[in-house]
A and B are shown apart, each in its own frame.
Chain A
Amino acid sequence: MNQIDMSLIDWSRAQFALTAIVHWLFVPLTLGLGLIVCIMESIYVKTGAEKWLRTTKFWMKLFGINFAIGVATGIILEFEFGTNWSNYSWFVGDIFGAPLAIEGIVAFFLEATFIAVMFFGWDKVSKKFHLASTWLTVGGATLSALWILIANAWMQYPAGMSFNPDTVRSEMTDFWAVALSPVATNKFFHTVISSWTLGAAFVLGVSAWFLLKKRERTFSLDSIKIACIVGFVGVVCSWVTGDGSAHQVAQKQPMKLAAMEGLYEGGTGVDLLAMGVLTPGKQYGDSKDPFIFKIPVPIPNFLSYLANRQFDSYVPGINNLVNGGYDTPQGKALSIEEKIERGKLAIGALADYSRAKKANNEPAKVEAKKILDENFAHFGYGYLKSPADAIPNVPLVFYSFHIMVILGGFFLILFPVVWFYSKKDKISKMKWLQWICILSVPLAYVTSQAGWVVAEVGRQPWAIQDILPVNAAISNINAASVQLTFFVFLILFAVLITAELKIMFKQIKIGPENKDVKNEEKLS
C-alpha cells in the first residue's frame, strides 16, 4: 500500500462508476414505470373498463423487460466491493451488513414472489389479488432501493457508528440513526420520487411516438394523462426533496456544495447560480476568475437560504474550507492542513493501539484509544497528501448539478403543458410537442444520472465522508486485472443494453394487444 498505483484507483473507480451508471439505467424505470402500472391497474380494477386492462398489460410488459434485463446488475457492485475495495468493505462491514441483509431477505423475496403473479397470474387469481401483487412487487423494488440508499447515505454522513480499533471495523451503535438520518431520508425520497418522473417521461415519450405514428390514439391519450399527473407530482416533490438534500449537503458536506456552485470564495448572503461557464483550467490557489460568465437565480442570497435557511448566512467557498478560520456553530472551522495533522494523529494512534495490544500493554492501549477517539472525526484526512486533495472535480460536479436542475425545470413545465394539450386531444395534431415528449425520455435519464454524479463525484476524495478516502479504501491488487474486468463489463453491459433496447423497441412497435382494439376505440 506504500506505493498504491493511482491508475489502480482510477480504474477501480471507473469500473465502479460504469457498473453503477448501467445499474441506474434500469432501476429508476422499474420504480417509476412500476408506480404507473400500479395506478393503471388500480383504475382497471375500480372501473372494470377493458381498455385499462389493455393499457396496464402493455406497460407491464415494458416494465417486465426492463426488470428482467436489469435484475442482479447491482450484485456486480458487491463483487467489486469485495475484490477492489477490500479495506473499505472490511471497514464498513457491520454497518452495510444490516441494511443489505434486510434488502436481500425482505425486498428480494417480496419482488420474486409477487412478480410471478403479476405476469403469470392474469385470469388465475382474482383481480384484487393480482392488483395487490403488482403493488407488492413495486413496493418490494422500492424497499430494495430504500436499504441501498440508506447504505449510500451512510457513506455521505456516517452517523450511528463507532470505530472499534480491535476489529478495525465501524460498528453500528444506533440502527435508527443510520436508517433515519436526515441524509438517508432525503436521499430516499429524492431518488425514488425523481424515478417516478423518469417513469412518467418514458410513458410520455412512448405514447407520443404512437401519436406521431397515428396509432393507438385512445391508449396514448389515457397513458399520457396518467404520466402527466405522476410526472408532475414527482417533479414537484423532487424539487422539494432536492432542496432538502442540498440543505443536508450544505450542513454535512460543505465542500460538495461549494463544488456544486463553483464557489471558491464564500461569504454572507451568497447568490445561487442558475447557470454559468467555468474558466477552463481553474485550480485551487490560482488567481483566475472561476467563471467566464454566470447567471444567478432571480432570488437574491438564495444559496445562503438553501444552505442555512437564512438569507444573510455565511456559506464557505472552496478557499474558505481549505483555509478554515470562519465561524461555525461548533466554533472556528479547522483548515484542511489542521485536519490532515489530526488525521495523522488518529492513524498513528491506531498503529500504537495495535502495537500496545500485541505487547499486552494496557496503559498504552488506553492512551492510544483516547487519542484515536479525540481525532477520529478527521481520520481520513491523514491519508491526504495536500489540502487540494480534499477538493472534488469542480467542473464535473458543477455542470452535473446545473444540468440536473435545469432539466428539473424543463420537466416542471413539460408535464402540465402536455396535460393541458392532451386533455382536449390537441396533442394528436402537435408534432413538435410529440417530438419534445419523445426527446424527454433520454433527457430524463440524463437528469437522473447527473444527480448521481453530483452525489458520488461530489463526495470525492471520500469513500466514507471524512473517515476513509478512496486511496485508503482500495485493495492492493494489480491494476491490469481491474482494467481487464472493466472491459469485460463494458462488453457485457453493451450486450445487455442492446438486448434491452432491441426487445423493448420490438414490443413498442407491436403495441398493446390488438384484441378488441376496434371495439375499444369505439367505446372511448
Chain B
Amino acid sequence: MENSIKKISSFRDFIYLYIDGFKNLTWGKPLWIIILLKLFIMFAILKVFFFPNFLNSRFDTNEEKSEYVSKELTKTHIY
C-alpha cells in the first residue's frame, strides 16, 4: 500500500501535505472551526477590547514604566 502512494520528497510536497490535509478533513473540520473561532475571540476581541497591556497603554518609554512601577511599589500602606 505504501508504495502506491507518492511520498514527500520536496518542500513543495510538504506544502501539499498541508493543503491536501485541510482539503480532506473529516472529523477534524469542527475542530478547525473551533480553533479559528477561539483564536478570533481571543486575539480580535478579548486582547483588543478587554486585555490591553496596562503599562504599554499608559506609557511610551521604559523609563516611564519603571518610574510608575517604582512609585506603585514604594507606597507601602496598601490597605
Interface code A77-104, partner B: CB below 8 Å = 1, 0 otherwise?
0011011101101110000000000000
Q: Which residues of A contact B11 (CB under 8 A)?
A: none
B55, B66, B72, B73 pick with most chain A CB within 10 angstroms? B73
Cβ–Cβ < 8 Å partners of A43 in chain B: none
Does A465 have its Cβ within 8 Å of any Cβ on chain B? no
Docked CA distance A61–B28 (Å): 9
Q: Is A4 an interface residue (CB 8 A)?
A: yes
CB-based contact A69/B73 at 8 Å: no
Give the residue of B34, B41, B62, B74 whose beta carbon is less than 8 angstroms from that of A68: B34
A71 to B51, CA, bound (A): 19
Cα A72 to Cα B35 in complex, Å, equals 9
For B, the interface residue count at a CB cutoff of 8 angstroms equals 45
Contacts of B74 in A (CB 8 A): 347-348, 350-351, 354
Minimum distance in angstroms from B36 CB to a CB of chain A? 11
Which residues from 21 to 79 on chain B have a C-beta closer than 8 Å to any C-beta of chain A? Answer: 21, 27-28, 30-32, 34-35, 38-39, 41-42, 46-47, 50-56, 62, 65-67, 69-79
Check: A471 CB closer than 8 A to any chain B CB. Answer: yes
Q: At the interface with chain B, which of A118-126, A153-161, A416-424?
A: A118-126
B residues sitting closer than 8 Å to A (CB atoms) are 1-2, 5-8, 17-18, 20-21, 27-28, 30-32, 34-35, 38-39, 41-42, 46-47, 50-56, 62, 65-67, 69-79
Q: How far is the CB of A170 from chain B (nearest CB, A)?
A: 12
Q: List residues of A (160-214) whose CB comes within 8 Å of B's CBs.
A: 165-169
A1 touches B55 (CB 8 A): no
Q: Which of B8, B52, B70 contacts A124 (CB 8 A)?
A: B8
- Given known pairs A125-B7, A485-B46, A485-B51, the reply for A347 and B73 (CB within 8 Å) is yes
Chain B residues contacting A347 (CB-CB under 8 Å) are 73-74, 76
Question: Contacting chain B: which of A294-302, A394-402, A474-482?
Answer: A474-482
Q: Are A477 and B66 in contact (CB under 8 A)?
A: no
A477 to B55, CA, bound (A): 11
A494 to chain B, nearest CB (A): 13
**Contact in complex: B8, A503 (CB < 8 Å):** no
The size bracket of the interface on A is 35 or more
Q: How far is the CA of A504 from the CA of B50 in the complex (A)?
A: 31
A–B Cβ pairs within 8 angstroms, 24 of them: A1-B72, A3-B79, A6-B79, A61-B27, A64-B28, A72-B38, A76-B42, A79-B42, A82-B54, A83-B53, A83-B54, A84-B54, A86-B53, A120-B21, A121-B8, A124-B6, A124-B8, A127-B2, A167-B62, A168-B70, A347-B74, A354-B70, A383-B76, A499-B30
Q: Which of A124, A351, A503 contacts B17 (CB 8 A)?
A: A124
Q: Is the interface of B mostly helix, strand, loop or mixed?
A: helix
In contact, B66 and A90 (Cβ under 8 angstroms)? yes
B41 proximity list for chain A (CB < 8 A): 492
What residue in chain B is nearest A86 (Cβ atoms)? Answer: B54
Query: Top 7 A-B pairs ranked by shortest CB distance?
Result: A120-B21, A86-B54, A351-B74, A79-B51, A82-B53, A68-B31, A475-B54
A116 touches B73 (CB 8 A): no
Complex interface: chain A residues within 8 A of B39 (CB)? 72
